[in-house]
Amino acid sequence: MSEDVRVGIIGAGAIVRLSHLPAIARVPGVRAVAIADPDSDRVKVLADEHDATAHADYREMIAAGGLDAVLVATPNHLHRDIVEHATAAGLHVFTEKPVAHTLEDALAIERACTAAGVVTQTGFNQRFREPVRLAKQGIAAGVVGDVLAFRSVYSESHAVYPAATGYRYNLAQSGGASILDLAIHRIDLARHLVGDIVEVCATIDHATIPHPADDNVFLLLRFASGATGVISADRFSPQVSNATDLYGPTGTIHVSSETRNPFQSVPLAFSSLLPHDQLPADFANADWPSAWWLDYTPGSWVSITPPRLSPYDAEWAAFVAAIGGTVDPDVPTIGDGVRAQEIVTAAYRSVREHRWVSLPLEDPAEPIPSYS
Ligand SMILES: NC(=O)c1ccc[n+]([C@@H]2O[C@H](COP(=O)([O-])OP(=O)(O)OC[C@H]3O[C@@H](n4cnc5c(N)ncnc54)[C@H](O)[C@@H]3O)[C@@H](O)[C@H]2O)c1
């Protein structure tokens, strides 16, 4: 392997242009050396900007050699074929979420990566946001006590994100719109912050968007720990809403990223019955009483505004570290992506059979729903 991890980028769409290529350019130890996309204009612009070779076909790019890893950032139904080609060439795999458009493909991807023994990562970038990292620390320190309730909302209009193509709303290609694109981030966050999910009950509807796709999702969750949770995602609200709350008998932690929304006006807030000296340092040091002679009051609300660091930089730094042998258990692997996809599949079954569905699923086969 050369000194830098040499990455072949597959897909020259919005997420690669906006997030991955700028992050790779900033992070030491990694270079984007080749980009593949059948759209000759998009691939040429990005390849020229980033001093990479341009390819129309990812198979030809992989066969040309000179790569250590690939980033998979195409429409979801293509992920399996790409990963199977990449792992056959012994390349490490960073795949965008969702891992695939169906659980069966996601499981095949996991098998291919395991058999090849390569490093894997799934693009659940929200784990790398500072407020989430701190929330995880706070939970471990007992700021809320046992997490008993998890509530998360993710609203984002179908019209705001500057996608290069319309694949998201072609469910044969995406496998799901609001649930696989938005809610899956929160499914992963729920697993990351609270633990394994053992039961799901869902409502998934098409309410109003001008595409035959899910735009209004509610998931009710039971965790192995005994906690319960709810995730709601929609694609019709004109404003982005992005908030997660964790509740326990000792306190509450609130995490948000859309902080211009007055209801979610800080990136992180907590209220805890723990005394000041038992709070983690980042929590204890965030309290500014209204006069210097006043002490922290357990149970009061404290806001934290951590630095707004790029989660994509952190993702790439973690991928490079893992390839170098330093594995952080908080970094989402393809296995984490598959477990999240299994919960989406369980939600589809819950809607189709109108019941709670237990995990793990014995039968991964489930039709992609259709909406009119
Ligand atoms: N982590 C996140 O928050 C996040 C955000 C956005 C997108 N994503 C994921 O990234 C992936 C791409 O999403 P996007 O928003 O960039 O979509 P997009 O529509 O903007 O771009 C998709 C690109 O894939 C290209 N493509 C199609 N067929 C291809 C092929 N055979 N080989 C190579 N490229 C091909 C298209 O030409 C297009 O340039 C999806 O899996 C999506 O879920 C993740």
pLDDT computed for residue 201 by the predictor:
99
Q: Which pLDDT does position 2 carry in this prediction?
A: 54
Q: What is the pLDDT of residues 249-286, one digit of tens each?
A: 999 999 998 888 888 999 999 999 999 999 999 999 99
Domain 127-310+342-353 belongs in CATH node 3.30.360.10: yes
Please answer whether residues 254 and 278 qualify as being in contact, where contact means their C-beta atoms are separated by less than 8 angstroms: no
At 150-162, the pLDDT tens digits run: 999 999 999 999 9
Q: Which amino acid is at 186?
A: R
pLDDT one-digit tens code per residue, 47-67: 999 999 999 999 999 999 999
> Separation of 137 CA from ligand 1 center, angstroms?
32
Could you report the per-residue pLDDT of 116-173, keeping only the tens digit for each?
999 999 999 999 999 999 999 999 999 999 999 999 999 999 999 999 999 999 999 9
Separation CA 214–CA 211 (nearest Å): 9
Q: Which of 185-194, 219-228, 261-270, 350-359 has the lowest mean pLDDT?
A: 261-270
Pocket test for ligand 1, best of 165, 178, 235, 240 (most atoms within 8 A of CB): 165
What is the atom index within ligand 1 of the atom nearest the CA of 79?
41
pLDDT value of residue 1:
47
pLDDT > 70 fraction of the chain, expressed in percent and rounded: 99
**Distance between the two ends of the chain, CA-based, in angstroms?**
50
Q: What would the pLDDT profile of 70-116 be if each residue is shown by its tens digit? A: 999 999 999 999 999 999 999 999 999 999 999 999 999 999 999 99
CATH architecture of 5-126+313-332: 3-Layer(aba) Sandwich (3.40)
Enumerate the domain spans of the chain: 5-126+313-332, 127-310+342-353
- Kindly list the strands in the beta sheet with 197-205, ordered across the sheet, starting from the edge strand earlier in the chain: 301-304, 268-272, 251-256, 241-247, 149-155, 228-234, 216-223, 197-205, 357-358
Kindly report the length of the chain. 372
Q: How far apart are CA 100 and CA 173, in angstroms?
A: 9
> Strand 92-95 vs strand 228-234: parallel, antiparallel, or unpaired?
unpaired
**CA–CA separation, 200 and 331 (whole Å):** 24
Query: Which among 122, 100, 186 is positioned nearest to 322, based on CA atoms?
Result: 122
Q: Ligand 1 in contact with 165 (CB < 6 A)?
A: yes
Nearest to 243 by CA among 176, 252, 251: 252
